[in-house]
């Protein structure tokens, strides 16, 4: 019997070889694809375990702290730490900190926008009387906004060293004493955050010990003495920040005489012309000066950003050619006890592109409700505190830290950009929509002083005993989170969160791309890849089983005539079945053995051999079942009116159509889901990193899918054409040209192949739609499938030897 079966295999050389190749592909590629899929999942898991945790595990906030945008989109702005309302007391924080399951509990209290002392810029002494007109500007990176009003100083001459004759309108007599043309740089307000230096250092590795320094300058001491020794809020200033500040300066040379204007102000020759500020003629004199003809005019803009820091600046001097340099003599302003708090941004239109509306269209525009607080030392001697910058801190810039986001963190340095790529920065005035990092940190005691007894906005908690971010770690975190939830806090597990870019529609600016933090990205990534792996596995297994059923059913169908003949000449049905099975067993087993060699060559893992062995066993079972099953159906005598050949050969064509449909489903779904998952993951930094780690694995899964799909379609078409070979020969005999035969064949083949592919594509698209895959990826996946399979089919048809 084996010999008979073997002879039939040899007799049908081409058919046998193609089925051998197809089976080998199935036996090698299915385990290979499944293995790649499993490895992709492992790589994702390992990546997340290594990089997904971030610097802390959960964020504990007072009840009802979640914003609408957070609840709706599951994202928070970088550096967003609430609206300075607080809600957790230091005692409550101490209680959380003392929990043994918690390694670190680092509190954050947003205090608002504060300023440091401001220094002056000295204007140059020029050779001729000159009017300096100046205007300070801040910038959001896109536009410049004037700060306060434009002012002028009229320089006449330096009568002698130390005696600079200039005139400007001032309100206070205190200004009279300046021996130089000094203008005070306007105050810049920056976010000040209170931390606990010990837990913050544990969490971030940043050294905050300078906060312990006792550094009271002589100038501060004088101020403290004058103002009744108010408390000093010590601030560490972030070292890598610059202030977007510039000055626009216009110099106009005037043909005027000092003497003439001293006379107009009723001053003597030795008097200082600034004394004229108290003269009754001052306004008319200034008017006269404004109408003086200009001999020469020049406008320049000086960038001051690199000289200024959030809580401490540098006194500057402009050279004669208006270049800034550090100054030895200066004036300073200490009015640091005024500060601002700003409300949360109210994002609108969260369903599509979140919208940020103006609250006040000033210079610069404000997107938050800003409230002035504190007491100005210019108005009162009873001031609440002095701000004193005592040192600096530098955030760590490890690039891997960027993978895992720390929502409501305070050190983020990601940039907000316009869609054209312009970098946007917060201005020096509170109210910007850009979530700026904390520019200075201070102590929790200072927070209590400024905000009262519940100053803490959030506590960042790191759970004890976690080395990598795996499932056990997630359970541990979840347990601690549940305990804190029970105590009434709002708890967000943020381990595994990552950055993503979000496009905002900002009134007055347009589309802005900002880095936001997606909560629970690692979990989502894991579940996405679990789902993709499951889908790939399911599809490959379904494809294998159905392919085997369809293929062996096809074999059964083409054996029909032979079986009838053997039965007619007296063979028993069981003997016929046995003969048919033996032939297929031989083909299956030869394919299996060759596959084992190939798997060995591919350095396959043990599970891959097992999968192949299972497929082999499954093939034997399917063959045994199908080839021993009783045939059904009656012979038809009337011809079909339409699609005659397709319907007549349905026993051969329908299995081939099934294979096409399956291949369309397999390729389409694989391309779409991989692409969709890849794109979905890539919106976050962690996801993008994971994608890079798994790119080749994913590509190899796609290649395996394509090869399986194309091989199976090629094999089934070849088998079909071989079966109908005599028909095509007959066409040539009766005088059809090769072109006519091809045309006829294409017409027929196109009808059923395209129907099968379209059915597969539509079915695939429907499944993908229910799996929430984006329309774009459904289109790409299904389009690729359609093109690939159609090209394959036409190549097979057009290259046939007819």
Partner 1 sequence: MISVKNVSKSFQHLSLSQKTVILQNVDLSIPKGSWISIVGPSGSGKSTLLNIISGLLKPDTGEIYYNDVDLYQLHNKAKSDFRRKTIGFVFQDFKLLPYYSVVDNVMLPLLYDRKKKELYDKAVTLLQSIGIKKELFSRLPEGLSGGEKQRVAIARSLIADPDVMVCDEPTGNLDRENRDRIIDLLGQLREDGKTIILVTHDLDVADHGDKLYFLKDGSLTLGGVSV
| Contact footprint for partner 1 (CB under 8 A) | 635-640, 644-645, 647-649, 726-727, 730, 732-740, 743-744
Give min distance, CB of 762 to partner 1, in A.
Answer: 28
Listed residue (789, 720, 714) closest to 756, CA to CA: 789
Residue 130 β-bridge partners: 155, 253
Q: Which tokens belong to 586?
A: 């031989």
Question: How far is residue 426's CA from residue 409's CA, in Å, rounded to a whole number?
Answer: 17
Other beta carbons within 10 Å of 733 = 9
What is the three-class DSSP state of 94?
Answer: helix
C-beta of 501 vs 723, nearer to partner 1: 723
Give min distance, CB of 650 to partner 1, in A.
Answer: 10
DSSP assignment string, 59-105: EEE-TT---HHHHHHSEEETT--TTS---B-HHHHHHHHT-TTEEEE
C-beta of 222 vs 729, nearer to partner 1: 729
Residue 252 β-bridge partners: 131, 297
Give min distance, CB of 636 to partner 1, in A.
Answer: 7
Q: What dihedral angle (degrees, nearest 10) is formed by the CA atoms of 417, 421, 425, 431?
A: -50
Listed residue (249, 243, 391) closest to 321, CA to CA: 249
Listed residue (456, 449, 311) closest to 384, CA to CA: 449
Question: How far is residue 745's CA from residue 799's CA, in Å, rounded to a whole number?
Answer: 12
Give min distance, CB of 527 to partner 1, in A.
Answer: 52
- Tell me if 789 sits within 8 A of 663, measured CB to CB: yes
Q: Is the dihedral of CA 620, 626, 628, 629 positive or negative?
A: positive
Question: How far is residue 62's CA from residue 199's CA, in Å, rounded to a whole number?
Answer: 19
C-beta of 161 vs 739, nearer to partner 1: 739
Give min distance, CB of 739 to partner 1, in A.
Answer: 8
Chain centroid to Cα 185, Å, comes to 38
C-beta of 381 vs 648, nearer to partner 1: 648
- Tell me if 414 sits within 8 A of 499, measured CB to CB: yes
C-beta of 126 vs 647, nearer to partner 1: 647
Give min distance, CB of 722 to partner 1, in A.
Answer: 16
C-beta of 621 vs 730, nearer to partner 1: 730
Give min distance, CB of 733 to partner 1, in A.
Answer: 6
C-beta of 600 vs 648, nearer to partner 1: 648
Q: Which tokens belong to 418?
A: 């316009």
Question: How far is residue 728's CA from residue 642's CA, in Å, rounded to a whole number?
Answer: 20
Give min distance, CB of 727 to partner 1, in A.
Answer: 6
Q: DSSP character for 276?
A: G
Give min distance, CB of 745 to partner 1, in A.
Answer: 12
Q: What dihedral angle (degrees, nearest 10) is formed by the CA atoms of 340, 341, 342, 344?
A: 170
Q: Which tokens belong to 255?
A: 């043909």
C-beta of 378 vs 631, nearer to partner 1: 631
Give min distance, CB of 795 to partner 1, in A.
Answer: 22
Strands (DSSP E) found in 123-174: 130-139, 144-160, 163-167
- Tell me if 387 sits within 8 A of 452, measured CB to CB: no
Q: How far is CA 677 from CA 424, 664, 682, 691, in A?
A: 31, 19, 8, 9
C-beta of 337 vs 645, nearer to partner 1: 645
Q: Which tokens belong to 649?
A: 């050969």
C-beta of 328 vs 641, nearer to partner 1: 641
Give min distance, CB of 746 to partner 1, in A.
Answer: 13
Question: How far is residue 633's CA from residue 630's CA, in Å, rounded to a whole number?
Answer: 10
C-beta of 372 vs 738, nearer to partner 1: 738
- Tell me if 334 sits within 8 A of 386, measured CB to CB: yes
Q: Is the dihedral of CA 146, 152, 157, 161 positive or negative?
A: negative
Listed residue (195, 205, 239, 209) closest to 396, CA to CA: 205
Question: How far is residue 404's CA from residue 497's CA, in Å, rounded to a whole number?
Answer: 6
C-beta of 202 vs 744, nearer to partner 1: 744
Q: DSSP character for 54?
A: -
Q: DSSP character for 120?
A: E
- Tell me if 619 sits within 8 A of 23, measured CB to CB: yes
Question: How far is residue 661's CA from residue 763's CA, in Å, rounded to a whole number?
Answer: 9
C-beta of 151 vs 744, nearer to partner 1: 744
Give min distance, CB of 634 to partner 1, in A.
Answer: 12
C-beta of 373 vs 744, nearer to partner 1: 744
Q: How far is CA 278 from CA 170, 182, 282, in A?
A: 9, 19, 7
C-beta of 640 vs 696, nearer to partner 1: 640
C-beta of 399 vs 735, nearer to partner 1: 735
Other beta carbons within 10 Å of 206 = 16
C-beta of 647 vs 763, nearer to partner 1: 647
Other beta carbons within 10 Å of 651 = 15
State how beta strands 232-238 and 245-254 pair: unpaired
Give min distance, CB of 796 to partner 1, in A.
Answer: 21
User: Residue 459, class by beta-carbon neighbours within 10 Å (0-12 exposed, 13-18 middle, 19+ buried)?
Assistant: buried
Give min distance, CB of 542 to partner 1, in A.
Answer: 32
Give min distance, CB of 728 to partner 1, in A.
Answer: 11
C-beta of 423 vs 740, nearer to partner 1: 740
Give min distance, CB of 726 to partner 1, in A.
Answer: 8
Give min distance, CB of 638 to partner 1, in A.
Answer: 6
Give min distance, CB of 730 to partner 1, in A.
Answer: 5
Question: How far is residue 98's CA from residue 69's CA, in Å, rounded to a whole number?
Answer: 33
């Amino acid at each position: 019997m084996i010999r008979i079966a073997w002879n039939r295999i040899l007799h049908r050389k081409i058919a046998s070889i193609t089925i051998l190749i197809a089976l080998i592909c199935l036996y090698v590629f299915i385990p290979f694809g499944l293995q790649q899929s499993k490895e992709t999942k492992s790589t994702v898991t390992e990546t997340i375990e290594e990089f997904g945790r971030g610097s802390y595990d959960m964020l504990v906030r007072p009840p009802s702290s979640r914003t609408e945008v957070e609840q709706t989109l599951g994202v928070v702005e970088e550096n967003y730490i609430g609206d300075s309302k607080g809600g957790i007391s230091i005692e409550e924080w101490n209680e959380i900190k003392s929990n043994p399951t918690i390694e670190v509990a680092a509190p954050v209290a947003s205090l608002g926008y504060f300023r440091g002392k401001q220094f002056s810029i000295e204007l140059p002494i020029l050779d001729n009387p000159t009017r300096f007109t100046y205007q300070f500007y801040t910038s959001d990176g896109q536009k410049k906004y004037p700060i306060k009003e434009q002012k002028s100083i009229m320089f006449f001459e330096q009568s002698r060293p130390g005696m600079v004759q200039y005139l400007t309108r001032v309100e206070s007599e205190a200004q009279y004493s300046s021996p130089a043309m000094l203008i005070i740089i306007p105050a810049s307000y920056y976010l000040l955050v209170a931390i606990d230096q010990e837990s913050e250092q544990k969490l971030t590795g940043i050294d905050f010990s300078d906060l312990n320094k006792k550094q009271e300058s002589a100038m501060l001491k004088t101020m403290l003495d004058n103002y009744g020794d108010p408390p000093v809020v010590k601030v560490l200033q972030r070292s890598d920040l610059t202030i977007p500040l510039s000055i626009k300066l216009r110099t106009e040379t005037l043909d005027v005489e000092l003497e003439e204007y001293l006379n107009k102000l009723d001053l003597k020759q030795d008097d200082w012309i600034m004394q004229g500020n108290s003269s009754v003629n001052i306004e008319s004199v200034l008017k006269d000066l404004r109408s003086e003809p200009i001999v020469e005019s020049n406008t320049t803009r000086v960038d001051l950003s690199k000289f200024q820091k959030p809580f401490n600046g540098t006194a500057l001097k402009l050279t004669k050619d208006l270049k800034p340099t550090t100054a030895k003599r200066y004036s300073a302003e200490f009015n640091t006890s005024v500060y601002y708090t700003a409300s949360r941004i109210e994002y609108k239109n969260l369903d599509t592109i979140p919208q940020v509306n103006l609250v006040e269209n000033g210079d610069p525009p404000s997107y938050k409700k800003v409230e002035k607080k504190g007491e100005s030392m210019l108005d009162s001697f009873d001031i609440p505190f002095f701000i004193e910058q005592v040192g600096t801190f530098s955030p760590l810039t490890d690039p891997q830290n960027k993978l895992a986001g720390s929502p409501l963190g305070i050190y983020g340095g990601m940039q907000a950009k316009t869609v054209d790529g312009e970098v946007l920065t917060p201005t020096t005035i509170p109210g910007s929509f850009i979530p700026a990092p904390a520019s200075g940190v201070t102590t929790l005691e200072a927070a209590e002083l400024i905000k009262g007894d519940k100053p803490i906005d959030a506590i960042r908690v790191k759970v004890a005993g976690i080395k990598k971010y795996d499932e056990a770690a997630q359970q541990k975190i979840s347990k601690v989170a549940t305990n804190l939830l029970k105590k009434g806090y709002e708890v967000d597990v943020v381990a595994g969160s990552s950055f993503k870019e979000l496009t905002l529609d900002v009134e007055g600016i347009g589309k802005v791309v900002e880095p936001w933090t997606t909560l629970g990205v690692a979990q989502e990534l894991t579940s996405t890849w679990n789902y993709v792996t499951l889908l790939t596995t399911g599809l490959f297994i379904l494809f294998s089983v159905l392919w085997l059923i369809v293929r062996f059913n096809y074999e059964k169908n083409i054996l029909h005539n032979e079986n009838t003949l053997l039965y007619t000449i007296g063979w028993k049905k069981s003997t016929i079945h046995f003969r048919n099975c033996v032939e297929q067993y031989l083909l299956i087993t030869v394919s299996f053995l060759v596959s084992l060699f190939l798997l060995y060559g591919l350095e396959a893992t043990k599970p891959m051999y097992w999968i192949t062995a299972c497929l082999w066993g499954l093939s034997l079972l399917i063959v045994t079942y199908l080839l021993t099953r009783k045939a059904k159906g009656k012979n038809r005598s009337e011809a079909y009116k339409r699609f005659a050949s397709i319907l007549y050969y349905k026993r051969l064509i329908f299995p081939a159509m099934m294979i096409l449909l399956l291949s369309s489903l397999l390729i389409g779904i694989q391309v779409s889901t991989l692409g969709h998952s890849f794109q979905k993951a890539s919106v976050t930094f962690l996801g993008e990193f994971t994608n890079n780690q798994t790119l080749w694995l994913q590509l190899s899964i796609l290649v395996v899918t394509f090869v399986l799909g194309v091989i199976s379609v090629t094999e089934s078409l070849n088998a079909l054409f071989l079966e109908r070979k005599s028909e095509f020969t007959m066409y040539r005999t009766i005088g059809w040209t090769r072109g006519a035969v091809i045309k006829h064949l294409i017409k027929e083949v196109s009808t059923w192949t395209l129907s099968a592919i379209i059915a597969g594509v539509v079915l695939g698209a429907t499944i993908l739609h229910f799996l929430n895959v984006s329309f774009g990826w459904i289109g790409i996946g299904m389009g690729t499938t359609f093109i690939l399979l159609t090209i394959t089919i036409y190549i097979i048809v057009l290259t046939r030897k007819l």
